[in-house]
Amino acid sequence: MTTDHHKKKTGADSPRATRGKGRAAKAAASAATVKHQPPVAQTDAVSLAQAEAVASAADGGGFAELGLHATVLHAIADAGYTLPTPIQRQAIPLALKGRDLMGLAQTGTGKTAGFSIPIIERLLDGPRRTRALILTPTRELCQQVDESFRKYGKYAGLDVVSVYGGVGYETQVAALRGGVDVVVATPGRLIDHLEKQNVSFEDLEVLVLDEADRMLDMGFAPQIQRIVAQIHPYRQTLLFSATMPPEVEALARKYLRKPVVVQVGRRSSAATTVQHYVYPVPKQRKAELLADLLKQGEMDSVLVFTRTKQGADRVVRHLESEGIDADALHADKSQAQREAALARFKAGQTRVLVATDIAQRGLDISGISHVINYDVPQQADDYVHRIGRTGRAAQTGDAYTFMCADEIAMVKTIERTIGQDIPRRSVVGFDFGT
C-alpha cells in the first residue's frame, strides 16, 4: 500500500484558509442548483465541438490559462510540464465547472492528470474528509494514480491513500480511519473495507471511474454497482478510458448526469507517435528472433508482452541464457517482486521487462523505446493499450509484433481496428514464408 501523508498547511497563508470562504459559497450555490436535478443518469452528451468551445478560453496557452490556483501550478511546474495535452486542455476546465465527463483518448496522452489536477484544485480548502474516490482496475494503475495526486498535490496539503489487494491490510485500515482526502482503490479490496466500515463516503464529492472498459473486461461491474450504491447521487462523476465500447457507454448512462463527451482522436486509434511493424516468424522461433533483435543493440528499454505467465517466464529464461538481463512481471509474482522488477526497469538496471497483459494499462514509464508483442493479443483494443506503453507524452517509439502463421487473421483484425496497414519486416532465416 502506498500512503501519502502531507503536513497540513495552517494559518492565513494556507490555500485552504485563504480560499475557504469563496469555495464554501461556491459549493453552497452549486449544491442548491444540483439538488433540483433528478438523481438519475441522463445521456444529453455534449459533442466534442461544444466541449472545445467551453475550453476555448484556454486554447493555445499553458496550464496557467486553465484557471488553476498558484499552489497547483507550482507543483505542475516542478514536475516539468508547461503545456497541457489535448485531453487535459479540454477536460480540466470542464471538470472545474463541476460537469460530469466521459473522457476518451489514446493511452499515454495524460488522462490521469486530466482528472487529478481539477480534483486537487477542488480540494484545496475544506476539512479532512473523504471527498474524492478513484476506482481503477489494477494495483499498478492504482499506484500510478496515487503518484499523480502526490506529484500535482505536493503543495496542497492533501492526504492520499491507495487501497488494493496483495499487500498489508491493517496499514490501510489505519490510514482510512485516520481520515484522508482522496482514496484510490481497486474495487475488490475497497468493498472489503466498506463491509468492515473502515471508510465512509458520506461526504464524497467526486467519483472517478478510470479505465472503465478494462474494469468491465475484468468483471468488476457488480462491485462498481455495490460501491456506487453507497455514494450520494449528487456528486460529480468522471469516466476516463482509452476506448469506449457500448458497454462503457451504458455504464456512463447509468452513473453520469448529462455528461460532456471529451474525445481526442478516434475510438480505438493507436498512438500516432509509434511506428508499427509485424515480423512473420514461426511460433517455435520467436524467442530466437527476440534475442537476435536485442543483440543488435538498437533497443534501449524494451517491454515484451506474452499471452501467459508461463510464457513470460520461458522468455526470460531464454534471454538470460543468451546473456540478456530480463525480468518477468505477472500475477504469480508477489507485490514486492513486481515492484522490484518495475523499479529495476525504470532505473535502467534491467533492459527488458517481459509481462502479461497485467502491464498493458497502468504503467507510466518514460523512455520505453520498444514494445514487442511476442504473442499477438486476442483483442484489437489490447493491441492499442499494449503499444501505448511507448510513444508516451509525445515521444516516439516502436512497436513490433511477432506473427506466426495462425496469428495472421488476428493481425488483420487489428489493422482494421486501428485503420492502417502495419508494414511487414522479414528477417532472413526467421520468416516462415522463406
145 and 113 in contact (C-beta within 8 Å)? no
pLDDT over threshold 60, residue 48 = no
> What phi and psi, each to the nearest 5 degrees, are found at residue 344?
-65, -40
Say how many Å lie between the first and final Cα of the chain, rounded.
51
The residues that bridge with 102 in the sheet, in sequence order, are 239, 261
415 and 269 in contact (C-beta within 8 Å)? no
Pairwise CA distance, residues 140 & 370, whole Å = 20
Closest of 328, 289, 322 to residue 306, by C-alpha = 328
Architecture of domain 3-264: 3-Layer(aba) Sandwich (3.40)
Cα radius of gyration rounded to whole Å, the chain = 22
Q: Kindly report, residue by residue over 372-394, the tens digit of the pLDDT.
A: 999 998 888 788 777 766 654 44
Domain boundaries, given as residue ranges, for the chain: 3-264, 274-418
pLDDT over threshold 80, residue 269 = no
Q: Kindly report, residue by residue over 194-241, the tens digit of the pLDDT.
A: 999 999 999 999 999 998 888 887 788 899 999 999 998 889 999 988
The residue behind cell 501505448 is 388
- Could you please state the CATH topology (level 3) that the domain comprising 274-418 is classified under: Rossmann fold (3.40.50)
DSSP 262-305: EEES-TTPPPTTEEEEEEE--GGGHHHHHHHHHTTS--SSEEEE
Would the pTM of this model clear 0.75, i.e. be above it? Answer: no
Q: Dmax over Cα atoms in the chain, in whole Å?
A: 75
Whether the CA torsion 10, 15, 16, 20 is positive or negative: it is: positive
